[in-house]
Amino acid sequence: MERSTSSILHALPILLLLLICFSELAASTTQVQLENKEHGVSLAKQHHKHKHSGFSEAECPGACTYRCSKTAYKKPCMFFCQKCCFKCKCVPPGTYAHKEVCPCYNNWKTKSGGPKCP
């Protein structure tokens, strides 16, 4: 009988520590969910939100594939979009417009003054 009581007493601090850790984890998760609900954005929507700036060169082809997906001129669109993405580290969201989101992308012009980036 003494042996089982002794082993329970040794395990008690570990169980208390685990309980504290799990309660902290649950509290922090609840806090994040509350903060996201306050801003009107669920965690799922925030995860799938379009990222349009801070790209690495490896991310540019994927962003440009979507940006150029509805054009009839895919090759030139992809060429210039990737060129702009490599320089600006940014691709506007959507398949057209919204260039104001990426100032570098928006302000890079051709010699004749037209837009360089699709």
Tens of pLDDT, residues 82-115: 999 999 999 999 999 999 999 999 999 999 999 9
74 Cβ neighbours under 8 A, 6+ residues apart: 68
H-helix or E-strand containing 56?
none
For the chain, give every domain's residue range.
Answer: 2-47, 50-118
Residue 28 near residue 17, CB atoms below 8 Å: no
Percentage with pLDDT > 70 across the chain:
61
Amino acid letter for position 1: M
Predicted confidence (pLDDT) at residue 34 exceeds the cutoff of 60:
no
